[in-house]
Chains A and B, each alone.
Chain A
Amino acid sequence: MQFSYLAIFLFFIILLAVLLIAPFRLSLNIGKEGALIAGSIKLAWLGATLMKMEIPPQSAAEEIRSNKDRRAGNENEDGKKKGKNERKISADNEKTGITRPPSIQSMINAAPALANIMLDLLKSILFKKFSCSLCFGLDDPSQTAIISGYLWSAASVLGLFPGRIFIDPCFEGERLEGELAVEIEARLLWAAFAVIQALRVREIRLLLREMMGWA
């Protein structure tokens, strides 16, 4: 009997360890050529695809138009559902647990600790691949030259991915084309570690209590 409990316990420990150590891999590919935008997003874990989303080739104008239509539709619906929404907001708050925004003072107090958490979280992210090529042009060639100088300076100062960022100024008129391919690997171990570290800081605990309405 005791052996089976031990086996279940060990199984959960191993499962938790795998969950924390095995990296999640997020791949993002997006490109714009002419007026067409296309791309894909993929999230994989242990070789299995958890989520895959394809962005079919569509023109930027179409995308803007569909967004506008969606927004207009939402605004119409908003008018009708206003009464319903007011009731829903309180239900959503109950669901997320956040009852009110924190005070500025608590935010300021917690800022250094939050910065440390962000750094810890960044440690868990590993850029496996980063390539960006951008071809752009503004209506004024001098502005194109100035902006491209700024972009190259920023890319050099960052210095994180030398040789993988390519910016090509186009002086022949207004143009924006490019490709972005990013592959990120993240382990939950560091994220969990960052959360635990955060909960050990008094300012963060106070901030959370305030947000939950317990303070």
Chain B
Amino acid sequence: MGITLEDIRLPEMDTRVLVGKEMIAGDRTIWPVMRISILKTCEDRILAIRITPLAMLVIEPTMEYAISFDGEPMTVEAVIELAASLRDVLEKARGSARIRID
């Protein structure tokens, strides 16, 4: 009864890109986007957690833009591609900024 290669489970890395809690500065709302990497043992016990800030979406009453923390220019579409849940946030913000004409 030897241990086969299938029996051996190696530590695994669970990586997710998530949107943090919004920060409000005056009329400006900042949505941070971060990568959370969790290193787990084969028994699902957490060995390490790493939080890496990736970018942020800034929504102002008249415009919205994205800032990447790696120094490269980033479009709003690119940040939404990174974190899909930001699409709803953006649509909601655009909806509230829209002037309704009946």
Contact = CB atoms under 8 A, between A and B. Distances in A.
A159 to B, nearest CB: 12
B51 A142 contact: yes
Contacts of A140: 20-21
A194 B87 CA distance: 64
Interface residues of B, number: 16
Interface size class of A (residues with CB under 8 A): 10 to 19
A11 interface: no
Contact of A171 (B18, B32, B48): B18
Contacts of A166: 44-45
A146 B43 contact: no
Given A139-B21, A140-B21, A171-B16, A145 B51 contact: yes
Given A146-B51, A171-B18, A141 B36 contact: yes
B55 to A, nearest CB: 14
A152 B41 CA distance: 12
A169 B32 CA distance: 19
Given A141-B34, A142-B51, A167 B21 contact: no
Contacts of A146: 49, 51
6 contacts: A141-B19, A141-B36, A142-B21, A145-B36, A148-B46, A168-B44
Interface of B: 16, 18-21, 32, 34, 36, 38, 43-46, 48-49, 51
